[in-house]
Amino acid sequence: MRLIEKLVLIASLLFVISNVFAQVRVNTARVEITEQNRGRQVTLGQAALSQVFVKISGDRNIVEADVIKRAIKNYEQYLITSRYGQEQDFAFFEARFNQEKIIQLLKVSGLPVWSELRPNAVIWLASNINKNIESVSQNSGKGLANTIKNTAQSRGVEIYLPIGDLEDTLALDAFDIWTQNINKIKSQSFRYNADFIISASINPIRDDLSEVDLDALNQTASAEQPIDPEEIEVIDEVQNQIEQLDETFDSIEDTESDNAIEENTAAIKEIEIPEGASLFLNYAIIEDTKTDVGRIYGTTENEVTAELIHKFADKLARQFAVVGTDTQESQRIIIQISNIKSLQSLHEVQEIFSSMPIVRSAHLKQQNVDKAIFEIDMVDQLDKFLTLIEIDQRLTRDLSQENDLQTISFFWNR
């Protein structure tokens, strides 16, 4: 194997491994410095704390609550450190806040709290503006790639862009991504080991929406694999499928059948085209066999792309955030974990439990050879606790070790 091939393989492996163990920092926020807020540290500090409240709660409207408005006004009570920085042409104000204090305020106020342990996603996005199909990857430069990165960071979710190397482009070209070829997208997504797959395409609102510029498409495809004229029939068929997809999006709400999208696909609510909208984004959010689909209208590619990331974060928050844990009844469970062979592993397990808002306390009761036994005092939501554990691939349920109903066993995969 040549040196370059080895380096590419190693980089790919490191990318996948880093995805598995990514942990979101929810108590830190970055705010872009603009002409409007330059030199106004109070404004910047309040904006940063607003972002952190959204991250920790998972609710982008949390800042409208009166108790949160008061906290933001007095942001210095929660501030730990702050600094100014710049990355290339992006100037920012960064602040870190007291996470424990923020979580306590949310709990006593009966507002949602979302654990740091969060699923990740890989996103496949292509745009067909001016009949020029372009996909977004780590190699595509600024623009939409930065929009995805910055919006995901502001919501506290991990979203990975495809590397965009030869392996990706041979398996999945820009046309496949734009037409949302789900089978190919799913297949190539195995490379990234993500919990969710996001597929999206951006199109202008016009009558000839399904027309594809074959010359531009040939330029997008690999030089070694130009589109053969005999394949035009195949492309025409894809165009017909796109038209049918548009009709489906527009008519789903009108159907009276309970089985309209019973293949684990969520129904799309019909949305009237907002005044002034010039383009739209079709998306699919895929989790195992479940798929949510929808459409977003807007005036710019950055606008609809940012809204897509917000919708993904909203979806996760609805699934994993917990409300009002201080007023709910407690439940005590015993957790047994095998393959614990170092103090570092023990510390990591303790951190996993402590990061969950539904866990009130986690105490190490016993340690024998390579097994550790914890007593967990938690909110009476065992199913949600187990779901959160499943997100972290360092712990795997070990049913063979569960001899009674009082003990839940896991295997430590490190």
| Separation between Cα atoms, residue 145 and residue 138, nearest integer Å | 7
Structure tokens at 72: 């933001």
Phi/psi of residue 224, nearest 5 degrees = -80, -10
Q: Which residues contact 134 (CB under 8 A, 6 or more apart)?
A: 126, 127, 140, 174, 220
Q: Is the pLDDT of residue 393 over 80?
A: no
Q: What is the pLDDT of residue 163?
A: 94
Q: What is the pLDDT of residue 88?
A: 78
What confidence category does residue 18 fall into, taking pLDDT thresholds of 50, 70 and 90? very low
Q: Is the pLDDT of residue 118 over 60?
A: yes
What confidence category does residue 47 fall into, taking pLDDT thresholds of 50, 70 and 90? very high
Query: Is-contact 118 391, C-beta < 8 A?
Result: yes
Q: Is the pLDDT of residue 110 over 90?
A: no
The residue among 31 and 12 whose pLDDT is bigger is: 31
Query: Is-contact 187 122, C-beta < 8 A?
Result: no
Mean pLDDT of 313-333: 79
| Separation between Cα atoms, residue 71 and residue 102, nearest integer Å | 9
| Topology classification of domain 328-412 | Alpha-Beta Plaits (3.30.70)
Mean pLDDT of 40-64: 94
pLDDT tens readout for residues 57-102:
999 999 999 999 999 999 999 999 999 998 877 889 999 999 999 9
What confidence category does residue 275 fall into, taking pLDDT thresholds of 50, 70 and 90? confident
Mean pLDDT of 155-176: 93
Q: What is the pLDDT of residue 55?
A: 96
Query: Is-contact 98 27, C-beta < 8 A?
Result: yes
Mean pLDDT of 132-153: 90
Phi/psi of residue 374, nearest 5 degrees = -115, 145
Q: What is the pLDDT of residue 360?
A: 78
What confidence category does residue 19 fall into, taking pLDDT thresholds of 50, 70 and 90? very low
Q: CATH 3.30.70 in the chain: give the residue spans.
A: 328-412
Residue that the structure tokens 């799913």 belong to: 186
Query: Is-contact 265 245, C-beta < 8 A?
Result: no
Q: What is the pLDDT of residue 81?
A: 95
Q: Is the pLDDT of residue 211 over 60?
A: no
CA-to-CA separations, 90 to 37, 84, 94, 142, 161, in angstroms, rounded: 14, 11, 12, 11, 20
| Separation between Cα atoms, residue 149 and residue 329, nearest integer Å | 39
| Separation between Cα atoms, residue 114 and residue 121, nearest integer Å | 17
Residue 256 DSSP symbol: -
Q: Considering Cα of 352, then 353, then 355, then 357, what sign does the dihedral take?
A: positive
